[in-house]
Amino acid sequence: MDKQQPPLRIGLIGFGCVGQGFYDIIQQQPALGLAITRIAVKHPAKARTLAPEQFSYHAEALVNDPTLDLLVEVIDDPAEAFRLVSAALRLGRRVVTANKAMLARHLPELVSLQQEFGGTLLYEAAVCGSIPIVRTLDSYFSHEPLHAVLGIFNGSSNYVLTRMSEAGTDYGPALAEAQAQGFAETDPALDMGAFDPRSKAVILAAHAYGVFLNPEEVLNLGIEHIRAADIAHAAAQGQKIKVVAGLYRLPNGRVTALVMPQLLGPESPLFTVEHEFNGVLIEARYAGPQFLRGRGAGGHPTGSAVLTDVLALRRGFRYAYAKRATPPEIQLTEGLELNTYVRHADAGVLREVLTWLEMPAEALRTDAEGAYATGPVTLQQLWAWRKELRANSVFVARTGAVRLAGVPVPATHVAALV
C-alpha cells in the first residue's frame, strides 16, 4: 500500500464473536492500512473488552456517517441487519455482512438495491467461515456448469455428531459439550434443526446456478432427535452421519436443494470433516471435483473472511452473478425421491410414520433401541410431514442420492457418491 494513502475508515456494527475477531485481526496488522474508527453496539451495559467510550449505541449514525469509507455489519438480528444494510445500500455505500439468515431471505432485494443505487455488498463471511466458497463460485466458476455444490456448512452440528461418534455418547451430552466449548448457542435450534445450513445453501445457489431460492421452500431436516443408536447403525456399515446441505443439477437440467442428515462412507471427502470444521465439494463439468475444507465458525476464522471482503472492496471488487443471465428451472420436491433411514424409540410411532411417508410396513425393524426402517421416500412426502416428523421426535437421514423418480443419477455426478 502507498504509505501516503490514508487508512480506510471502517464503521463496525456489532462487537460479538465475529466483530471482536475482526477487530483483533485489524489491530494486529497495522500495515494493512485499515482503521476501525466507529463501533456501534446495542446494549450499553454489556461487558466488553474495550472501554465504553469507544462505542456508539446508534447504528444509524454509522450508516449515515459520510466520513466512513465502508461498513461492516456483524450483528445477530436478521431483521435489524436488513434494515441497516438496505439503508446503507440506498445511500450507495460499500458494506460487508456476515448475516446469512438476512441474506437468504432478502438477497434478491439487496442485489436490486446495489444495481439501483450503486453500492456494493460482499458477504464471504456468511457462508462456511474461513472457506472462500462464495467468491470461488462467483468468480472462478462463473461460466462453468456445475453438477453439484454440497457440503458440511454448520460447525455446531458437525461438532455434536463428531463427539457422539468419538465418545459413544448420546445427543444431549454432546450438545452440552458443544455449548460449553462455544461451538453451539444456548438456543441451538437454528444449527441443530439445519436452518443455518439451509440459509447458506440458498446464498450459494445465487452464485453456483444464478437462482434465488426462497429458504422457506427448501426442505431441511436436522439432528435434534438423533440418538447413539443411529451413530452405531452407521458405524456398523463403516459410515458416519453428517448434515449435508446440497445443490444439485438434475438430469433434466433443473436444480434442486436439500439439507438433511446423510450416511456417508469413506469414499466421500466429507467423511473426514470433523468437529467444528466445514467442507465444501464442487463438482464441475470440465474442472471435475474440487474440495475445500476449513474452520466454519469462530471469531478469528470468520473475522478473516470479513477482512478479505474489506480488502476486496478497497480494490473495487463486486460479485458478478454471471449465471443470473440464464438461470435453470428449479425443482425442489415434486418428482424427486431418495433412499432413507428412519428411526424412533417406539415401534408403534414408527409404524404410523411409515404410513405418512408411504413406506411399506414390512420395512420396519426392531432392536434394543427401538425401531427403524430403510427404503425410498419421495421428497414431497418428507416435505408434507416435516413438521410432524419434528414434533414426534423422528430421526430421518438419507442414504443415497437425490434422483428423479425412477431415473438413476449418472455415476459421473458427485451426488451419486455423497
Q: pLDDT (tens digit, 9 = 90+) per residue, 243-291? A: 999 999 999 999 999 999 999 999 999 999 999 999 999 999 999 999 9
Burial readout 71-93 (b: 16 or more C-beta within 10 A, e: otherwise): bbbbbbebebbbebbbbbbeeeb
Instruction: For residue 82, tell me if it sits in a domain.
Output: yes
Is 60 exceeded by the pLDDT of residue 417? no
Total domains present in the chain: 2
- What is this structure's pTM? 0.95
Q: At 140, list the grid cell.
A: 472462478
Tell me if 281 sits within 8 A of 151, measured CB to CB.
yes
Strands of 140-228 (E only): list them.
Answer: 146-152, 219-220
Instruction: For residue 162, tell me if it sits in a domain.
Output: yes
Span 335-387, pLDDT tens digits: 999 999 999 999 999 999 999 999 999 999 999 999 999 999 999 999 999 99
pLDDT the model gives residue 410: 55
Which residue out of 200, 240, 242, 323 is catalytically annotated? 200
pLDDT the model gives residue 182: 79
Amino acid sitting at position 232: A
Query: Which CATH number characterizes residue 404's domain?
Result: 3.30.360.10
User: Residue 348 is part of which domain span?
Assistant: 132-296+321-418
Instruction: Please check whether residues 390 and 333 belong to one and the same domain.
Output: yes
Is 60 exceeded by the pLDDT of residue 397? yes
Q: Is 200 a catalytic residue?
A: yes
Instruction: Please check whether residues 111 and 24 belong to one and the same domain.
Output: yes
Is 80 exceeded by the pLDDT of residue 63? yes
336 vs 256: CA distance, rounded Å? 9
Instruction: Please check whether residues 145 and 65 belong to one and the same domain.
Output: no
The domain boundary residue, chosen from 122, 144, 173 = 122
Instruction: Please check whether residues 160 and 69 belong to one and the same domain.
Output: no
The domain boundary residue, chosen from 100, 122, 144 = 122
386 vs 396: CA distance, rounded Å? 10
Instruction: For residue 306, tell me if it sits in a domain.
Output: no
Instruction: Please check whether residues 266 and 396 belong to one and the same domain.
Output: yes
The domain boundary residue, chosen from 122, 155, 172 = 122
Instruction: Please check whether residues 252 and 289 belong to one and the same domain.
Output: yes
Instruction: For residue 303, tell me if it sits in a domain.
Output: no
Mean pLDDT for all residues in the chain: 94
Residue 416's pLDDT band (cuts 50, 70, 90): very low
Instruction: Please check whether residues 252 and 285 belong to one and the same domain.
Output: yes
Instruction: Please check whether residues 210 and 358 belong to one and the same domain.
Output: yes
Average pLDDT over residues 168-185: 89
Query: Which CATH number characterizes residue 25's domain?
Result: 3.40.50.720
Is 80 exceeded by the pLDDT of residue 131? yes
Residue 22's pLDDT band (cuts 50, 70, 90): very high
Span 195-253, pLDDT tens digits: 999 999 999 999 999 999 999 999 999 999 999 999 999 999 999 999 999 999 999 99
Instruction: For residue 330, tell me if it sits in a domain.
Output: yes
Instruction: Please check whether residues 201 and 285 belong to one and the same domain.
Output: yes
